Amino acid sequence: MKPVRLSQRERLLVHCAPARAERIDDRAMRAAVFRAAKSDEFVRQQQFDRAVAALVHAVPIPPETAHWFSSEALIARPKWTWKRAAKNPAVVAVGIACLVIAGVFIIQFIEHLHDFPGSSRARRLLSVANSSRSVLLDPVRTDAGALGDLFFMKHNLEHYEVPPPFAEFQTLGCRVFDDEEAGRAAQIWVTEKRMQFFLFPAERDPKTGTAPDFADWRFVEQEGWSGAVQQQHGVLFMAAIRGDRQLLAPYLNTPKE
Amino acid sequence: MLGDAQKAREVFEATLRAATERAGESEAPVDRFWLYREARGRCLEASEQSLQAEDVDLPEEELSPTALDQLAQIDADQLAIWISAAPEPQRTALALFYLDEFTHRELLKIAELKTAELGPLLSSARRQLQAWLNTILPVEDAS
């Protein structure tokens, strides 16, 4: 074997090289050992170290000490308790995440608890009511109940009738427009508490193609507006008012939550 | 490290007791080499109370081709006593290095040394051990 020239750093690493290659966990040391492996000096060092290590392992261990090593349960694992688990940051983080997810689900559930076919369209039209200005509507001063004929004659909208509890309110204006979500809708502005009425097609069941009517009043809320909705002849009527749904209660024959 | 079985046993038991107490208090050590550090610290404490090695420069000799034969002739206890007589931190370095249980980085962590310190300590210890072997087992006798 030829003598190998090593740098000072490599020589230091070679001096520290464990006798077994698998104990080398340092890339620089591995490289230094690889280079030094060709030298007699290093081979002798490794043999020497292995022999000394074997001798160290042969140092007798007193039997009273040795028995400690034979027991697997030398130190009992600490008992698992809820208190300990609750202090674990990972458990705390998962717990908080679960609470937040559960909270979101509960809010979603409560929001949609009173949903009915057409409620999403009704909410959409409450947003329209919130952003509407009276100047957008054609000025019409008459009873709200009289506009059904106008919608039928002018726009060919059948059954776009304002129901009796609201039929006698004086109108300020009305318009018919196409909404992406709600379809062809009629909007009526009345003087009474600046309420707005909407008439729009009912949501049909995609399987049966039917839209069962309901005579009771159902409620939706969106952006600080409340709406009372009723469906007759496949057309939904919504009375919308800014504020709480209780404001609509006096006008409804059979208020129902 | 102590060269005394009785003292080693006391240190071992005291270390285990400390580990048990920590485990009982649910205080898991962050340092995974805690047990080895603890044992080393207790060994150093115990050895302070006993005879101290003289601070002399031991003779050093190149590793001999007959070193393996010489090592085969000595007793494990003799080697343990020789290692325990080494000055700190050479003694710790030798004890941990020849246990052959640790990687290089682990050894540096436990012994609280740097490669630049460990290298000369081990190199010097090998040569001193060879010199000692040559003294107790002269080459002509060993061969």
In terms of residue numbers, what domain contains A34? 8-70
The answer on A216 and A93 residing in a single domain is no
A128, A230: one domain: yes
Classify residue A49: in a domain, yes or no: yes
How far apart CA B125 and CA B60 sit, in angstroms, is: 8
Per-residue confidence band for A2, with pLDDT thresholds at 50, 70 and 90:
low
Whether residue A1 lies inside any domain: the answer is no
The Cα B87–Cα A68 span in angstroms is 30
- Copy the structure tokens of residue B31: 């340092």
More confidently predicted of B125 and A63: B125
- CA–CA min distance B142, chain A (Å): 15
- The sign of the torsion formed by the CA atoms of A121, A123, A128, A133 equals positive
Q: Is residue A73 scored above 80 in pLDDT?
A: no
Peptide bond just before B138 cis, omega within 30 deg: no
* A211 and A133 co-located in one domain: yes
Q: What is the predicted ipTM?
A: 0.85
Q: What's the confidence (pLDDT) of residue B143?
A: 45
pLDDT reading at B10 higher than 60: yes
**Residue A172, in any domain of the structure:** yes
Q: What band does A1 get if pLDDT is binned at 50, 70 and 90?
A: low
In sequence order, the 6+-apart residues with CB closer than 8 A to the CB of A34 are none
CB A10 within 8 A of CB A29: no
Contact criterion met (CB below 8 Å) for A184 and A178:
yes
Give the pLDDT of residue A256.
Answer: 44
Cross-chain residue pair B115–A45, CB shorter than 8 Å: no
Flag whether A257 is in a domain: no
Average pLDDT over chain A, rounded to an integer: 86
* pLDDT at position A196 over 60: yes
Question: CB–CB of A16 and B105 under 8 A?
Answer: no
Task: Decide if A77 is inside a domain.
Answer: no
Is the same domain home to A126 and A97? no
Residues in A closer than 8 angstroms to B72, CB to CB, are 51
3-state secondary structure of A140: coil
A58 contacts chain B (CB < 8 A): yes
Interface contact A7, partner B, CB < 8 A:
no
pLDDT of residue A189 exceeding 90? yes
| Whether residue A172 sits in one domain with residue A102 | no
Q: Does the pLDDT value for residue A5 go beyond 50? A: yes
As for how many domains chain A has, the answer is 3
Neighbours of B129 (CB within 10 A): 25
Radius of gyration of chain A (CA): 42
Tokens of A73: 């349960």
- A89 and A59 in one domain? no
The Cα B53–Cα B55 span in angstroms is 6
A210-233, pLDDT tens digit by residue? 878 888 898 888 889 999 999 988
Are A52 and A20 contacting, i.e. CB atoms less than 8 angstroms apart?
A: no
Measured distance CA(B27)–CA(B18) in Å, rounded: 11
Residue B34 Ramachandran class (φ > 0 left, ψ -120 to 50 alpha, else beta): alpha
Residue A76 inside a domain? The answer is no
Of B8, B9, B71, the CB nearest to A52: B71
Whether residues A44 and A130 share a domain: the answer is: no
Contact call for B103 and A23, based on CB within 8 A: yes
DSSP H helices in chain A? 8-16, 27-36, 40-57, 63-70, 82-87, 89-111, 119-131, 147-155, 164-167
Which residues in chain B touch residue A65, judged by CB atoms under 8 angstroms apart? 8-9, 12-13
Contact B68 A59 (CB under 8 A): no
Q: Is the predicted pLDDT of residue A19 greater than 60, yes or no?
A: yes
- A61 and A147 share one domain: no
For residue B124, the chain A residue with the least C-alpha distance is A15
Q: How many CB atoms lie within 10 A of CB B139?
A: 14
Q: Which of A111, A130, A165 is the last residue of a domain?
A: A111
Indicate whether A125 and A107 sit together in one domain: no
Instruction: Nearest chain B residue to A84 by CA: give it.
Output: B26
Could you read off the pLDDT of B28-80 as tens digits, one per residue? 666 778 888 888 888 888 887 776 666 677 888 888 888 888 888 888 888 88
- Is there a single domain that holds both residue A186 and residue A234? yes
Residue A38: predicted pLDDT: 84
Residue B79 CA to residue A136 CA, distance in Å, equals: 103
Residue B71 at interface with chain A, using a CB cutoff of 8 Å: yes
Dist. CA A70–CA A181, nearest whole Å: 76
Claim to verify: residue A124 and residue A106 sit in the same structural domain? no
- Out of A91, A111, A131, a domain closes at A111
Are A147 and A50 in the same domain? no
Answer whether residue A37 is part of any domain: yes
**Residue whose pair of structure tokens reads 């002798």 in the numeric block:** A44
> Do the domain assignments include residue A168?
yes
